[in-house]
Amino acid sequence: MTSMPSPAVAYVRVRAHTLALIEGLTAEDCQIQSMPDASPVKWHLAHTTWFFETFVLAAAWPEYLPVDPAYRALFNSYYVGIGARAPRAERGLMSRPTLAEVLAYRTEIDARISAGFRARCLNATQVATLELGCHHEQQHQELILTDLKHHLSRNPLYPAYRAQPELTASGDAALEWIGFEAGVRDIGHGRTTRFSFDNETPRHRVFAEAFELASRLVSNADYQRFIDDGGYQRPELWLSDGWDAVQAGGWQAPLYWFDDGSHYTLAGRIAQVADAPVCHVSYYEAEAYARWAAARLPTEAEWEIAASGSTPLRQMQDCCWQWTASAYLPYPGFQPAAGAVGEYNGKFMINQMVLRGGSCATPAGHLRPTYRNFFPPSARWQFSGIRLARSRR
Amino acid sequence: MTSMPSPAVAYVRVRAHTLALIEGLTAEDCQIQSMPDASPVKWHLAHTTWFFETFVLAAAWPEYLPVDPAYRALFNSYYVGIGARAPRAERGLMSRPTLAEVLAYRTEIDARISAGFRARCLNATQVATLELGCHHEQQHQELILTDLKHHLSRNPLYPAYRAQPELTASGDAALEWIGFEAGVRDIGHGRTTRFSFDNETPRHRVFAEAFELASRLVSNADYQRFIDDGGYQRPELWLSDGWDAVQAGGWQAPLYWFDDGSHYTLAGRIAQVADAPVCHVSYYEAEAYARWAAARLPTEAEWEIAASGSTPLRQMQDCCWQWTASAYLPYPGFQPAAGAVGEYNGKFMINQMVLRGGSCATPAGHLRPTYRNFFPPSARWQFSGIRLARSRR
Amino acid sequence: MTSMPSPAVAYVRVRAHTLALIEGLTAEDCQIQSMPDASPVKWHLAHTTWFFETFVLAAAWPEYLPVDPAYRALFNSYYVGIGARAPRAERGLMSRPTLAEVLAYRTEIDARISAGFRARCLNATQVATLELGCHHEQQHQELILTDLKHHLSRNPLYPAYRAQPELTASGDAALEWIGFEAGVRDIGHGRTTRFSFDNETPRHRVFAEAFELASRLVSNADYQRFIDDGGYQRPELWLSDGWDAVQAGGWQAPLYWFDDGSHYTLAGRIAQVADAPVCHVSYYEAEAYARWAAARLPTEAEWEIAASGSTPLRQMQDCCWQWTASAYLPYPGFQPAAGAVGEYNGKFMINQMVLRGGSCATPAGHLRPTYRNFFPPSARWQFSGIRLARSRR
Amino acid sequence: MTSMPSPAVAYVRVRAHTLALIEGLTAEDCQIQSMPDASPVKWHLAHTTWFFETFVLAAAWPEYLPVDPAYRALFNSYYVGIGARAPRAERGLMSRPTLAEVLAYRTEIDARISAGFRARCLNATQVATLELGCHHEQQHQELILTDLKHHLSRNPLYPAYRAQPELTASGDAALEWIGFEAGVRDIGHGRTTRFSFDNETPRHRVFAEAFELASRLVSNADYQRFIDDGGYQRPELWLSDGWDAVQAGGWQAPLYWFDDGSHYTLAGRIAQVADAPVCHVSYYEAEAYARWAAARLPTEAEWEIAASGSTPLRQMQDCCWQWTASAYLPYPGFQPAAGAVGEYNGKFMINQMVLRGGSCATPAGHLRPTYRNFFPPSARWQFSGIRLARSRR
């Protein structure tokens, strides 16, 4: 990333990548919301566009004429500072505007942004918000894939989205333990010229005891041993809420696994690869697996220290997100951005656990070692896996 | 209906009418399931076709090669005798097969049925089941409209399906009471050469005390007086379960009514017409209104006696279905058809009330005075209204 | 009942019988509400007393001084005409007033009623309402037993309430079919000098086709054959809602049955008696059993015709209530009583099925052939069984 | 606590204090479970006794003869290592064993423990577990009061448990900010000879930035200003899940507050004291209040540093527990105890927030500065209040 693209170029690239993701999808594929936590692809296409219109264009220009005034509420996700919102669980109920209309909305906003650059009328705040909007859209690029995967997995026909497989095998490398000394360390993002989300800031000091991190992720074969050892039948391995989730959900394996050794992927229902990282596990499963393996999950500080260290670890960003033992809470001194855009991260800092790393579904250029992803401990539809840690003996 | 069309002609007409109904709808419009009780338009298109394939073609010919073996479970509504079924509440989750594929399925089955007629290889049972399938498809034609109306009404844009209004005004005719004498009467369908559903049979004797029926339906203006008189705030007017439904649902008016005097219709959100029949009320609301009006709802026997009598009543079949005071239960001597098709009606004979008449959404030629429609007492998304009755003084 | 007791004597007897029922119960036994449909014994003791205070004493005398003004809302069951009510599902949350205080309330009201008789100041309406209150209390006497049975059955210790068994064996009499001719019959209560509830009136004409009724109830051994034949695994035997209830509730046998051939009774957990009537089945189970047995359930008119006929049938009133095929709806010309007491029956006339007969838990002298009991089709905690019917061949 | 009582004496004192708490309560008062999160007083009496029988007596002596073998499952709270358990939400359904029987169970176990001391046959592990059992019973002493308060508050009569008020007024001391320097600090319990729960260990290093803590708790008058300023109507002040809880629960004030300025207390429904600490707020309310007040909640490390410092702060342990900004998670190097007793704390380390301090309901001698209490962020029935913190400027 030595030669950082200009904001105008970055915008065009990000927007084009989103369109590339939906190539081959029908209007119906883009319409469906398979559970309240997921959103329709069409909604992602519209909402990311809405973000630019609302926070870059409308916020700065008092006389701005919206593409369609109804969209302001229709595609508002959760910004109460912006006003009314369509209920989250009903995003799949809107057949209108159609996919074609949403794509036209994208084209129109792209033209306006582009004209803004050409006219050189975008101020520094607008450009900064536009950069945020690009990273925002990249997050939705990943969600498009995870939400689509969930929706297609509920179809008894198990249709494939793409031909290429999701995760590459690890080559079954032996799991090694990489050690780190105790001490006061800096973590978090320093908010230099490079972009970060507000939840990564401020950079601050933490004390970490000596620890070790696994050189690779837990594999399907590893996890199968946990299952074979009665992992899903032994309450003593689980957190109390985790065991309740196992019972209530009838969990017997990670999400998308079938009894016959196959699993559902974006390439359809195919055989599992034994030495690929296990994926689509909840925090509860990750935590229970770690206990069974006489290890534990890393804290997010430990993960970041390791990711910033000199010893390279495998599968840090390209396979699946890694559940940490850290609750998603504000860093000391955290200040959300002013205005409605300040709702981006801060108001979700409860009842969620931090995931670190990145996944096969994360777009290139989106990640940093300080990146904080977060989901409730029961969530399984993200590309979430397990990296073990242990305290230094 | 003096010149009854041949089964082959009737089939073609019914199938064409379904396609006419979806003219102008996008793939997305046809995809959405806005509540578990409703189904996507696409599903209706496929399921009605499945009915012909399963019960006319596959049931008769042991070597029948299905269009797609997966469809047998995919588009089975509730026939346990046929085997597996996709869960009802998840009909909206199937983006595949696409609308285009479902339309191709329709075309293929139409071709096979047509070839069967041409080859003269359909036996009498098949032709009878095909007639049943045509009436079945007509029922789904009405459901396409009621389900679509519900789905479009949940869209904050309130899109219109068609330009023409739903119900014509009544011209505010005065409400008159038409009297009928007490006595033993025959009701039900005699299963002559004309078609009926099994739940209309057998024709049997009932004793009816003297009664009177209102000459027209309750109008919007009538119903508004009930609202203005505190109808939705006075528990003494309601059945206990009805009052619970009012509280739980926050009901203040019929479904689709807005505070500003407008209501949602298939022609969009438009002003109410005062002397049009009130529509989209539950049994609970109909029953409470009748109590408030010092009247009651008719039994289904009373309705049928009146409909078969010599005095014509207004708005019997062309405006909205009329809740009766009769629970949906088998007639004395009722026998469901043999085999899986016997599940058509009988197994729903509990927890529902009978509606009589017909609605503006019912296709022409579908109705009979003996016709029994049925819905749970809380249902409001059908075109359901109120005709008053009272016992003869 | 040739020598009808005076109202004063009847009152004393009914009240004493209630106290006899709770002999040996602790304050804790009388406190518990094991499900929203059931009520604590203490609540039954208080509410029946409240009925007399509210409808006999307070309703007639404007200057009446209540025992405790708070009781008016506290022990109001569902009479919205009386005012506020404690939520039904929270009847078990009131430790105060204590059982001792409730018994003192009973004693005080008994003294006031008794003094009213002595003073000869009760008018005819009051005496009539007092008679209604006695029948009301008798209904609660049965509910005390069924609610207590449910509560004790949830205790892993399965404590016994009384030593004597609930139902006597039938002696395994052969099931015979008793025939009845078709014709117009009178059913319902004529409201002569004898008491009836308003829902039994008016006496009116019905037409009944020829039918036959089983001479005895379905026995445990009969029902076991249904279970052994896969009754709970075969959806084709069930109403659709019934099958849903089987799945949702995990039903495999009547309520209170255990896998080992024992069942919970008010005498504790004991072995079933094969030729005793099967009990604690829902309408769904009764209806499915009848279908399996190539019979059906009787309508309430058929049951009443048979009960009023000259041929005696066995087990009509002393074993368990018998589900009928009739929905609980008003008789033609039904008029509820004026005022709040009119809420007694009428507002529950939806979503319930009629049971006829009586049970081992019904107090002596409470029953009539015209008596209409009613519960939702899923209810199983009443003493409810099965009598078969069939249409005359 | 310089002269620590012997284990035998400590046991007798703790057990006697529990009995003192229930003085004046009826069997009914002790029976009720007013919500799944709370337990009946009788259950607390039995379960604390069960703890001694199971973990001190039965665990050590293979031939131990239990008081009643059924109690092992009946009074097991959540120890899956011990075996079956009665469902938590049904603790209120057991009228048997009666209160008298449970008190006899207590007496019998007390006699056995006492005899064990006299016989000098208790080994060191047993004595250590007995000490744990005493602290366990002290925790339940607080729960007896909070659960009883919830249950009595649901009674429309608002009965009083005791005459004395719960919280003394603060004298309206001005709120001062006490400062603390940044640095690496030790927190947690060192597991010396003094008792601690396992979740307080091990003692370990943390880095804390400079911070300030409020000298007193937030008072009712302070909190009233938040309410008056629209606190419960302004989503921008709340975490997203917190706002959902406000909407779903209809929260307008702390639990137990009434519109008229009164609140429910263990001394009945009485007027609020303006300068007493606000109590019965959830984490969500505490966090929203802090945001409104331009402050934040302290982390648990900050709280412990302050509590261990030389500057005394007011209302640290005697008024109400103080929500911290820390999720309840294991300390670095945390190891639960071996065996079933290891389930005591560890398995609840998810979805809960830490509270520090102590309350007016905590028994004397139970607290330490390292003490970690924990509840879900929505919990309000504990004596939970607010101490503000802020980062050093």
Judging contact as 3 or more Cβ pairs under 8 Å, the answer for B and D is no
pLDDT at D223 over 60: yes
The arithmetic mean of pLDDT across residues D65-72, rounded, is 96
Considering the four listed CATH numbers 1.10.287.1080, 3.90.1580.10, 3.10.100.10, 3.40.50.300, the one that applies to the domain covering B177-391 is 3.90.1580.10
Share of chain D above pLDDT 70, in %: 98
The arithmetic mean of pLDDT across residues A60-65, rounded, is 92
Q: Which residue of C has its CA nearest to D32?
A: C93
Instruction: Please tell me the distance from the alpha carbon of residue D339 to that of residue D79, in angstroms, as a whole number.
Output: 10
Interface test with C, best of B199, B246, B351 (most C CBs within 10 A): B351
The alpha carbon of residue C96 is apart from the nearest alpha carbon of chain D, in Å, by: 8
Cis upstream peptide for C97 (omega within 30°)? yes
Q: What does the pLDDT look like over D321-330, one tens digit per residue?
A: 999 999 999 9
Share of chain A above pLDDT 70, in %: 98
pLDDT score, position D357: 97
Instruction: Please tell me the distance from the alpha carbon of residue B33 to that of residue B41, in angstroms, as a whole number.
Output: 8
Hey, is A262 helix, strand or coil? strand
Q: What does the pLDDT look like over B1-13, one tens digit per residue?
A: 446 789 999 999 9
Comparing CB atoms, the residue among C205, C238, C241 nearest residue B351 is C241
Phi and psi at residue C385, to the nearest 5°? -130, -160
Instruction: Please tell me the distance from the alpha carbon of residue A380 to that of residue D21, in angstroms, as a whole number.
Output: 46
Contacts of A242 in chain D (CB under 8 A): 350
**Is residue B279 a contact partner of residue B384, using CB atoms and an 8 Å limit?**
yes
Asked whether the beta carbons of residue D348 and residue A377 sit closer than 8 angstroms, the reply is no
Instruction: Please tell me the distance from the alpha carbon of residue A386 to that of residue B287, in angstroms, as a whole number.
Output: 59
The arithmetic mean of pLDDT across residues A219-248, rounded, is 97
B122 Cβ neighbours under 8 A, 6+ residues apart: B56, B60, B116, B130
Contacts of B284 in chain C (CB under 8 A): 350
**Binding-site residues on chain C for chain B (CB distance < 8 A):** 78, 80-81, 184, 204-207, 209, 235-236, 238-243, 283-284, 287, 325-327, 329-330, 332-333, 343, 347-351, 377, 391
Least confident of A251-260, B289-298, D338-347: D338-347
Contacts of A348 in chain D (CB under 8 A): 239-240
pLDDT at D192 over 90: no
The alpha carbon of residue D117 is apart from the nearest alpha carbon of chain A, in Å, by: 33
Residue type, B343: E
Contacts of C243 in chain B (CB under 8 A): 80, 347
Instruction: Please tell me the distance from the alpha carbon of residue D311 to that of residue C48, in angstroms, as a whole number.
Output: 63
pLDDT score, position C1: 42
Residue type, D105: Y
Band of pLDDT at residue C193, cut at 50, 70 and 90: confident
Q: Which residue of A has its CA nearest to D237?
A: A347
Contacts of B among chains (3+ CB pairs under 8 A): A, C
Chains B, C: CB pairs < 8 Å: 78
Residue type, D201: T
- Strand A353-356, strand A321-327: pairing: antiparallel
Q: What does the pLDDT look like over B239-288, one tens digit per residue?
A: 999 999 999 999 999 999 999 999 999 999 999 999 999 999 999 999 99
Asked whether the beta carbons of residue D377 and residue A351 sit closer than 8 angstroms, the reply is yes
Biggest distance spanned by C-alpha atoms of chain C: 66
Band of pLDDT at residue D172, cut at 50, 70 and 90: low
The alpha carbon of residue A333 is apart from the nearest alpha carbon of chain D, in Å, by: 7
Band of pLDDT at residue D269, cut at 50, 70 and 90: very high
Instruction: Please tell me the distance from the alpha carbon of residue C106 to that of residue A305, in angstroms, as a whole number.
Output: 74
Contacts of D269 in chain C (CB under 8 A): none
Least confident of A164-168, B126-130, C31-35: A164-168
Asked whether the beta carbons of residue D347 and residue A209 sit closer than 8 angstroms, the reply is no
pLDDT at C196 over 50: yes
Q: Which residue of C has its CA nearest to D151?
A: C93
Instruction: Please tell me the distance from the alpha carbon of residue A80 to that of residue C198, in angstroms, as a whole number.
Output: 55
Residue bearing the bigger pLDDT, C311 or A213: A213
Name the pTM for this structure: 0.95
Asked whether the beta carbons of residue D28 and residue C27 sit closer than 8 angstroms, the reply is yes
Burial D154-177 (b: 16+ CB within 10 A, else e): bbebbbebeeeebbeebeeeebee
pLDDT score, position B1: 42
Comparing CB atoms, the residue among C184, C235, C333 nearest residue B80 is C235
Helix (H) or strand (E) holding A385: strand A384-385
Asked whether the beta carbons of residue A329 and residue D327 sit closer than 8 angstroms, the reply is yes
Hey, is B199 helix, strand or coil? helix
Q: Which residue of D has its CA nearest to A334?
A: D391
Residue type, A345: N
Only one residue has tokens 């536009």, namely A130
Contacts of B243 in chain C (CB under 8 A): 80, 347
Instruction: Please tell me the distance from the alpha carbon of residue B238 to that of residue B246, in angstroms, as a whole number.
Output: 9
Instruction: Please tell me the distance from the alpha carbon of residue D373 to that of residue B344, in angstroms, as a whole number.
Output: 59
Other residues' Cβ atoms within 10 Å of the Cβ of residue A376: 16
Asked whether the beta carbons of residue C93 and residue D31 sit closer than 8 angstroms, the reply is no
pLDDT score, position D84: 86
Band of pLDDT at residue A1, cut at 50, 70 and 90: very low
Judging contact as 3 or more Cβ pairs under 8 Å, the answer for B and A is yes
Give residue limits of the domains in chain A.
Answer: 7-153, 177-391
Instruction: Please report, for residues A336, C64, D320, D322, the alpha-carbon distance to residue D368 in angstroms, rounded to integers and kept in the order given.
Output: 35, 59, 14, 14
Comparing CB atoms, the residue among B81, B330, B350 nearest residue C241 is B350
The alpha carbon of residue A343 is apart from the nearest alpha carbon of chain D, in Å, by: 8
Residue bearing the bigger pLDDT, B15 or A168: B15
Which one-letter DSSP state was computed for residue D192? S
Q: What does the pLDDT look like over A344-367, one tens digit per residue?
A: 889 999 999 999 999 999 999 999
Only one residue has tokens 């004309």, namely B194
Instruction: Please tell me the distance from the alpha carbon of residue B256 to that of residue B265, in angstroms, as a whole number.
Output: 8
Contacts of C284 in chain B (CB under 8 A): 350
Band of pLDDT at residue D173, cut at 50, 70 and 90: confident
Interface test with D, best of C33, C34, C95, C154 (most D CBs within 10 A): C95
pLDDT at B171 over 80: no
Asked whether the beta carbons of residue D28 and residue C28 sit closer than 8 angstroms, the reply is yes
Hey, is D294 helix, strand or coil? coil
- Strand D183-187, strand C384-385: pairing: unpaired
The arithmetic mean of pLDDT across residues C246-266, rounded, is 97
Instruction: Please tell me the distance from the alpha carbon of residue A385 to that of residue B11, in angstroms, as a whole number.
Output: 55
Phi and psi at residue C180, to the nearest 5°? -135, 140
pLDDT at D1 over 50: no
Q: What does the pLDDT look like over C313-324, one tens digit per residue?
A: 999 999 999 999
pLDDT at C129 over 60: yes
Q: What does the pLDDT look like over A169-220, one tens digit per residue?
A: 666 688 999 999 999 999 999 977 789 999 999 999 999 999 999 999 999 9
Contacts of D among chains (3+ CB pairs under 8 A): A, C
pLDDT score, position B14: 98
Instruction: Please tell me the distance from the alpha carbon of residue C1 to that of residue C365, in angstroms, as a whole number.
Output: 8
Comparing CB atoms, the residue among B26, B86, B95 nearest residue A98 is B26
Asked whether the beta carbons of residue B332 and residue C391 sit closer than 8 angstroms, the reply is yes
What ipTM goes with this model? 0.96
Instruction: Please tell me the distance from the alpha carbon of residue C70 to that of residue C50, in angstroms, as a whole number.
Output: 11
Band of pLDDT at residue B169, cut at 50, 70 and 90: low
Instruction: Please tell me the distance from the alpha carbon of residue B139 to that of residue B48, in angstroms, as a whole number.
Output: 10
pLDDT at A42 over 80: yes
Band of pLDDT at residue C338, cut at 50, 70 and 90: confident
Band of pLDDT at residue C266, cut at 50, 70 and 90: very high
- What is the overall mean pLDDT for chain C? 94
The alpha-carbon radius of gyration of chain B (Å, integer) is 21
Other residues' Cβ atoms within 10 Å of the Cβ of residue D46: 24
Contacts of A93 in chain B (CB under 8 A): 32, 34, 151, 154-155
- What is the overall mean pLDDT for chain A? 94
Judging contact as 3 or more Cβ pairs under 8 Å, the answer for C and A is no
Only one residue has tokens 């596990």, namely A281
pLDDT score, position D82: 87
Comparing CB atoms, the residue among D28, D70, D95 nearest residue C156 is D70
pLDDT at D119 over 90: yes
Instruction: Please tell me the distance from the alpha carbon of residue B352 to that of residue B376, in angstroms, as a whole number.
Output: 4
Comparing CB atoms, the residue among C236, C238, C240 nearest residue B81 is C236
Q: Which residue of A has its CA nearest to B92?
A: A32
Band of pLDDT at residue B371, cut at 50, 70 and 90: very high
The alpha carbon of residue C357 is apart from the nearest alpha carbon of chain B, in Å, by: 21
> For A106-225, where are the E strands, in sequence order?
177-180, 183-187, 204-208, 211-214
Least confident of B220-234, B317-331, C82-96: C82-96
- What is the overall mean pLDDT for chain D? 94
Q: What does the pLDDT look like over B31-88, one tens digit per residue?
A: 999 999 999 999 999 999 999 999 999 998 999 999 999 999 999 998 988 888 888 9
